[in-house]
Amino acid sequence: YDEEGLKALAARINAFAVSEDLPAHGECVLSRFVKDPYDKATLREQEKEAGLR
């Protein structure tokens, strides 16, 4: 995927990765667009700010 394509799917990829107990895969994708993919308390807000939601 190019940046636009990956950005369009990043939040869904992360949700799927977490549901499959593979959080590092989702965090890897999110790390391209958000400041701190490991900060679960602010992740949803970070996704919104990055235009992922």
User: Which amino acid would we find at residue 7?
Assistant: K
| Contact call for residues 10 and 32 (beta carbons, < 8 A) | yes
On whether the CB atoms of residues 42 and 36 are closer than 8 A, the answer is yes
Q: pLDDT for 1-53, tens place per residue?
A: 899 999 999 999 999 999 999 999 999 999 999 999 999 999 999 999 999 98
Q: What is the pTM for the complete model shown? A: 0.80
- Report the pLDDT value the prediction gives residue 53, as an integer from 0 to 100: 84
